[in-house]
Structure 1
């Protein structure tokens, strides 16, 4: 798989099809693959083909993870990468908020200080909700 995979908590927040792609390919490879195929309705072949840029092993893992999401013609809508990027970016912003200023993060992520503040606030709300159920 990948040197860098998403935490189970962050993975759980992704939409089901996106979560299946990340589980099958790993975070880095999923990013690369979604950048090329995101937003399209594709047929996921049963046997290896170079058309989708997947190895045989990747194709088999993807088919296994996506099985509940494939239609009767083995097609599925490939999610765009935006949700994956946003979730990951926001988790990094919240994880580093104690040692990075909002201004520094705004520059690093090409956002405004107000957007950083809102992301941090949402992260605090999520943390409070999680602790209610612990």
Structure 2
């Protein structure tokens, strides 16, 4: 029987866009984040055998191709995975905020507000917003906007 955390994790996966769900299922959260940080927002061709050019082991490449093929068959998302193995990869920067917020909410009973803020590199106010159901604003985006003259 799945634990409450496993059940919540699977519920979270259901809310994600199918290609992203396939990537996370194939690689796991940490590797998917790393992979999408390096390749997200681009159109890449998944090789048939050697994943090293994409920073993937052959097992990861096989799992990714398998999961994406299943998504394509189940949802008809041919715009995300073509017959020749090309895929439009989503950007990673905003996608994993949902997972981070899920983790914050799951750890609320175990850590204090300040401990959560330190663990997730947020302010206490941002953690409070997440716990209330809102989104925490990424402060680095704010500083980028200031540096670029956007504010």
- TM-score, normalized by the shorter chain, greater than 0.5: yes
C-alpha distance in 2 between matches for 1:100 and 1:86: 19
Change (3 A) 1:116 1:62: same
In the other structure, the counterpart of 2:125 is 114
TM-score, scaled to structure 1: 0.71
Find the partner of 2:112 among 101, 108, 114: 101
The Cα of 1:47 is off from its aligned counterpart by: 3.1
TM-score, scaled to structure 2: 0.64
Does the 8 A contact of 1:14 with 1:83 survive in 2? Answer: no
In the other structure, the counterpart of 1:9 is 11
4+ aligned runs moved over 4 Å, structure 1: none
What secondary structure is seen at the aligned counterpart in 2 of 1:47?
coil
Matches within 5 A, 1:30-45: 30-45=32-47
- Runs of 5+ in structure 1 lacking a partner? 124-134
- Runs of 5+ in structure 2 lacking a partner? 1-5, 73-79, 135-151
C-alpha distance in 1 between matches for 2:130 and 2:55: 35
User: 29-38 vs 62-71, which deviates more?
Assistant: 29-38
What secondary structure is seen at the aligned counterpart in 2 of 1:42?
strand
The Cα of 1:19 is off from its aligned counterpart by: 0.9
Whose relative contact order is higher, 1 or 2, with alpha carbons under 8 Å and at least 6 apart? 1
Q: For this pair of structures, how many residues does the alignment match?
A: 119
In the other structure, the counterpart of 1:76 is 87
